[in-house]
Every structure is written in structure tokens, then in C-alpha cells.
Amino acid sequence: MNHLKYIIYREFTSRVKKKSFLLVTILVPLFIGLLMIGTILVAINSTGKMTIAVKDETKLFEDKFRGLDQKNITFHYILDSKTIDDWKQNYTNDYNALIYIPIIDMENPKGITCFSDKPLDFHTETIITDALSDVVRNQVLMQKNYDVDLIQKLEEKIPIEMVINNEKQTGRNSLSGGFGYIAGFLIYMFLFIYGTMVMRGVSEEKTTRIIEVLATMVKPFYLMLGKIIGIGMVGLFQVGIWAVLIFGIQTLIGLLFAGQISDMQNVQSVGNYEQAQVSVQMINESIEALNSFSLIRIFLSFIFYFFFGYVFYAAQFAAIGSAVTDDTDVQSLTLPVTIPIILSIVLMSVVVEQPYSPVAFWASMIPFSSPVVMMARIPYDINWWEQILSMFILLISSIGMVYIASRVYRIGILTQGKKVQFKELWKWLWAKY
Amino acid sequence: MFLQVNNISKQFEDKQALADVSFSIEAGKIYGLLGPNGAGKTTLIRIITQIFYPDSGTVFFDGEPLLNKHLNQIGYMPEERGLYKKMKVGEHLQYFAQLRNFSKNEAKERIDFYIKKFEIESWLNKEIVDLSKGMQQKVQFIATILHRPKLLILDEPFSGLDPINSEVIKDAIFELNNNGTTVLFSTHRMENVEEICSDIILMNQGKKILEGKVSDIKQQFKNNLYRINFSKAIEVSIFPVDVEIQEKGLDFIVIKLSEHINITQLLKKLIDIGMPIVGVHEILPSIHQIFIQQVNKIEK
């Protein structure tokens, strides 16, 4: 048992001291940071100033376009007597585009044209078409003697206040879904990355025959357990560094590009005051929701499900690693281990939509899928008993899986030059050696 | 007896790896464990090093049934280099010392002693992958004897070594043996067996087929062969009919005596007829010959 700490220490240090580990650990957050900066810079540069002329023969769109100016887009409503043909010849001297609205039948509005020397971006085009549709719609409603203000009011979404267990809930669903999905996806990725690392480590000890020496000093069970725990700690360490670095880089970018980000948000929000107010409200609700999530619960659950989910799968990968003699065997033997992980991510996308369904419940209890699926459910504040039961099952299953894997491992690791199939693994499981 | 193996049997699926194998090893001697591939040597070693458990039979170590605690008194060096390629020599030895329950200081002391003895101080910070095969074998050997085991099991320790490094390892084995370590030496290279081992255990197809002192076994399998040297050329016709000529040179002859005549009688006859004899010596079979003969006999 005393040996376990040395094995864990070796597995941990031999990996974190590698140059490749340092590179990946530092480069991933840097890459993400650069990606963020790149996105901001592209967004800033792509939203150059535009001035658009509006030649309106109907005179009905004046108010709309005069109030439509944005930080980067200015609309110039033309009131002169020049014809559209004259304007078409010269508009490029002062404007990027020219919108021509002829006399139209409001119930069948055809003939509105936009002239420009290059295509408008999606955002600008949406602003223009929304404005045109809005005016046409109101005009039609007025012609039919409807109360436009009333209809506009009726079209607003009716807000529902969620009260769960006498506690007011705010704006959680969309944010919970997103948060759960990210957490589940991260665990899914880590199961693969670190599980494969265990498999390769075991396989390397077998092919270099070092296992033959180690097995005379330490019981194979401790060798396997030490490797699983050691690499698991590498995973936690790496994820920890990533979390800190990504948070730090994000904060730094936030501070460095505060002005630009605020400009971008202004540009992207619709120039309508009421809608802007709605956006601000949504952001506030999201922040409030984030605080009320019980971040500690999510964080600790993530550590638990990450580690024990990893142990559960890493034990299987270790057993496979001990059985393979060359790389060609790896694919066929790892398939049954990887299928449940992939299935978990498929189930997760269903569970995020319906976190309280029976499928969600059972998928978060079965240890093959619980690390991914339960992590996606936790932000929805599921019952504590469900989470505790799921954690208990995963814990017991991980210990059980380590035991089962060690039965295969102790024989597989010393078996050389034989192509192993599942039939052999099953025999090894029960064999007395 | 230092190591007593009693009626050990081991079956793997359809293959009988060991069948009722018994032998004993005296303390302080060097034993050769010989046998062709598949003879059961590795399985036997794995049972002694407690990697496998026997299906039946018992092993006694220093008078006690073999237990986990005895592992710390056994050192095993397999034929293949069991080293972490990407680890530094010093880290590697430190790790093995820790697994042998040494404290950090004890480990350092032992490592310092052996790296000086084997003159590898300058390699301490090199990765194993950068070392030659001979150097790796030295590191492997140090890792095996760091804990000064009472029983040292070596599987082809000279495989791939140049003559100089072979001598270094050989001297180290003798030194350990002189200091009381019992050595069990598994090999195919018979020249090493004759040079190093006092006793042998020959195995084939999971069974022990021969056991004993090298000199006794040679006597047991001798063929009454003699080489006689003369000071001048001789004629074959002078030899009696009880003597079979095996080889003849200008001034020597190799003969095989029948059961009706011994060497003293033959020499007397030769001297009586005035043959100028300058030397006589008995030709004993080599361990290699005995090995081949015994293995072939069983396989036939």
C-alpha cells in the first residue's frame, strides 16, 4: 500500500515534467485567448462606418429611418427633387448604398430596391428589412382601422414568473442548459483524453517489459491503481491550470478591450430603446441566475464526476491497454469502451432539453453515462437525493470496475505475443493465477 | 536449504506449464536454470517472485513458506530491459529504491555506492533512451541489486553485452555471491553456465529433467573419451580392439574405451610396447552437449 504513493508520484511527475505537457497546458488557454482577441478585432474591423441614402417616394418611411441610426450605420433620408435615375448615377460619391422606395401597394409591397457597389452585411440588411416590414405592417393595419399600439402590445411575449419551492427563479433555463452542456461535454472530452493516456501508459509498460520487474516488487493491482490515480491527478492539475488561465486571460481581454466590446454590443443590439432595455434586463437576470446556481455545488460536482467518471473508464482502458500487443488490436478492443461514452453525449443533448424526464433520471444513475449526463442536469437544481444516489452508484461502480479491470490487467500485462480477443478477457476475469 | 521448490504444478488454459517440479537450492551457490524455450523457466521464476501462484505445490524461502515479505529479499532481472525509457538514470534508480522501501537518504546512499562502483556517475542525469544497450544493462543490474537481495534471479544477464561489460557484470555477480547472495541464473548460453554455475537445474516441457553439481553431471554423462598425446607420429594399428578411435592427428589420438578396458590398462599396454606418451586427459562432455542430448532424448 505504501508503494501506491510512489507510483502515483512517478505517474504524475513523469507527465507534468514533460515539455509537451507544459506546452499544451499553456498553449491551449493562450490559443483560446488569441481566438477571443482575433474575434474581437475581426468584429471591430468588419463593422466599418456606413452611410445609406433613402429615397422614399411614399414619404411614409421618414420617421422610421430617421430613428434608425446606429453607431456605425447612418441613414440619410433624401428630401430633394432629383429623380432616382439621377441618384443612381451619383450616390456612390457620398453614400455606401441607396435604398429606393417607389410608390407601392402596401398590401403587396414590391419594387423596393437597394443599390450598392458591394453586398450589404447581414446585420445591416436585417435592420433595413425589419424597418421596412415594420412600416408596411403598421400602414396596412391602419388602413384596415386596427389599433396598431394595441396589436404591438399583444404581440409581446407574456412573462411567466417561475417559483420553485417558494423560491423565485430568474432566467435560468437557457443559461442552465448552456452551462450543463459545457460541463457534460468537458467531462466527455476528458474521459477520452485521460482514459487513452492510461491505456497508452499501460501498453508501454507491457511492451518495454518493465512490468516484469515491477510485478516482483508491487502487486499489479497497485500498479494499475497508481497509474489511474496519477494520471487522474495530471488531468485535474491540467484542467485546474486551464480554468485559472482561461479565466485570467478572459478577464485581461475584458479589461484591455472593454471599450471595443461595449461598442460591439451597442452595434449588435437593435437601435430600438425598448429592445435595448429588454437586452439589459436579460443580462441582469442571467448574472443573477449565475449567482443563484450554487456555483460551489457545480464546481464540486464537476470535480467528483470528472474524477470518478475518469476512474470508472480509465480502469477499462487500463485493462484494454494490458491486453493489446500492438496498435492494430487497440481499435477493436476499445470500441466497446468508447461506445457508452459517445452514447452519453447523445443522451446529454436529450437530457438538457428535458432534465426531469425518466430518461434523464436513469441516464444519470447508470455509471456508464452518469458522469456526463448528471453534470448536464445539476445546473437545473435537481433533487439532492438524486445527485447523492448517482454519486454513490458511481463511487461503488468505480471501485468495482477497478477490481474487475485489475483481474484482467494482472494476466494481460504479462501475456506476450498473443492476439487477444474478448473471449480471452472474459477467461482472464475468472482465472486463478 | 535456502530455496525449496516442492511439487509445483501450473496449468495455463490447455497448457501444462509446470508439472510436479521439485528441486532445492543451497545458500551461497550459483545455480543455472537451463531449458529450451517453453520449458517453464519463466513460469517457475514468476512463481518464485510471486507474480503467479502455483496450482499445487509449495515453495519455501529460507525455511519459511514463501510470503510477500520475502519479495524484498529477491532481486529479479529479466532478459528484456525493464526500464522507463524517458526517465533519467538517477530518477529511475531512486524510484526502484523507493519501491524497495528505502528512505530517501538510504536510497541515495545505495545509488551513490553503485554508480561509483559501476563508473556511471556521469550518466546519472541522462535519459535511459540515450544509453547504449550495455549501459542500460548496467543500470538494470544496479536496480536489481540495490536492495542487496539474498536471492538474485538473472535471466540472460549477458544478452547483447560486449565482452568488457559482460566481464563487469560477471565480476559483480561473483562479488555478490562471495558476500552470501544465492544466484539463480536462467540462460541458454552454456559457456556462461560452465564458467559461472556450480550447480544446474535442467528443465524441458514443464518438467525438471536433471539437477546437480556441474562436475557430478559431467561425470554422470561422460563417455569414456580420452585424448592421448605422443612425442612422434603413431600408427592406429597398435591400439587394442577394445578401443574405438574417435579422432586421430599426427601426434595425438582421441579414443573411446569400451567397458572391458580402463585407461590405466590401456596406458600400461602402450608403454609396454614403447609408445612415447607425453600427455593423457579425460574428455568430459560439455553442459551444452548434455543439454542437447537430454532435450533431444525427451523430445524423441
ipTM entry: 0.80
Residue A167 within any structural domain of the chain: no
B177-202 per-position pLDDT tens digit: 999 999 999 987 777 788 889 999 99
Residue A262, pLDDT score: 64
Across the interface, whether the CB atoms of B99 and A432 are under 8 A apart is answered no
| Same domain, residue pair A397 and A292 | yes
Closest-CA residue of chain B to A222: B99
User: Within this chain, do residues A243 and A377 fall inside the same structural domain, yes or no?
Assistant: yes
A214–B46: do the CB atoms touch at under 8 Å? Answer: no
Tell me where in chain B the CATH 3.30.70 domain(s) lie.
223-283
Question: Are residues A238 and A375 part of one domain?
Answer: yes
Query: Is A160 domain-assigned?
Result: no
At A243-273, the pLDDT tens digits run 888 888 888 888 887 766 665 555 444 444 4
- Give the strand pairing for B252-257 and B243-248: antiparallel
User: Is B82 within 8 Å of A214 when comparing Cβ atoms?
Assistant: yes
Where among A123, A155, A187 does a domain terminate? Answer: A155
Q: Are residues A80 and A31 in the same domain?
A: no
Considering the domain architecture, whether residues A339 and A304 belong to the same structural domain is answered as yes
Q: Give the residue numbers spanning the domain of A210.
A: 2-37+172-430
Architecture of domain B3-219: 3-Layer(aba) Sandwich (3.40)
- Whether A383 and A240 share a structural domain: yes
Find the range with the poorest average confidence among A114-123, A383-392, B46-55, B234-243.
B234-243
pLDDT per residue of chain A (433 residues) written in tens, 0 to 9: 678 999 999 999 999 988 889 898 888 888 888 888 888 777 666 656 788 999 888 888 888 887 777 777 888 888 887 888 888 888 888 888 999 999 888 888 888 999 988 888 887 888 889 888 988 888 888 888 888 888 888 888 787 776 766 666 555 555 666 777 888 888 999 898 999 999 999 988 888 888 888 888 888 889 999 999 999 999 999 988 988 888 888 888 888 877 666 655 554 444 444 444 444 455 555 555 555 556 778 888 888 999 999 999 999 999 998 888 776 777 778 888 899 999 998 998 888 888 888 999 999 999 999 999 998 888 877 888 999 999 999 999 999 999 999 888 888 887 776 677 777 777 777 776 6
CATH 3.40.50.300 placement within chain B: 3-219
What is the percent of chain B with per-residue pLDDT over 90, rounded to a whole number? 34
In a domain, A164, yes or no: no
Asked if residue A330 and residue A197 are part of one domain, the reply reads: yes
Q: Which CATH architecture has domain B223-283?
A: 2-Layer Sandwich (3.30)
Distance from CA of A189 to the nearest CA of B (A): 27
Binary contact (B50, A214; C-beta < 8 A): no
Q: Which of A128, A155, A182 is the last residue of a domain?
A: A155
Q: Does one domain contain both A125 and A75?
A: yes
Asked if the Cβ–Cβ distance from A6 to B13 is below 8 Å, we say no
DSSP state of B150: S
Asked if A426 and A343 sit in the same domain, the reply is yes
Q: Are residues A232 and A138 in the same domain?
A: no
Indicate the number of domains in chain A. 2
Put simply, whether A210 touches B (Cβ < 8 Å) is yes
Q: Are residues A76 and A212 part of one domain?
A: no
> Which of B50, B53, B78 has the CB atom closest to A209's CB atom?
B78
pLDDT tops 80 at residue B55 = yes
Which of A155, A187, A216 lies at the terminal end of a domain, its last residue? A155
Phi first, then psi, for residue A143 (nearest 5°) are -60, -35
Query: How close A216 comes to chain B (CA, Å)?
Result: 6
Report the CATH number at residue A88.
3.40.190.10
> Residues B252-279: pLDDT tens digits?
899 888 888 888 888 888 888 888 889 9
Task: Please check whether residue A416 is in contact with residue A325, taking contact to mean a CB–CB distance below 8 angstroms.
Answer: yes
Q: Kindly state whether residues A54 and A30 are assigned to the same domain.
A: no
Q: pLDDT at position A284, please?
A: 54
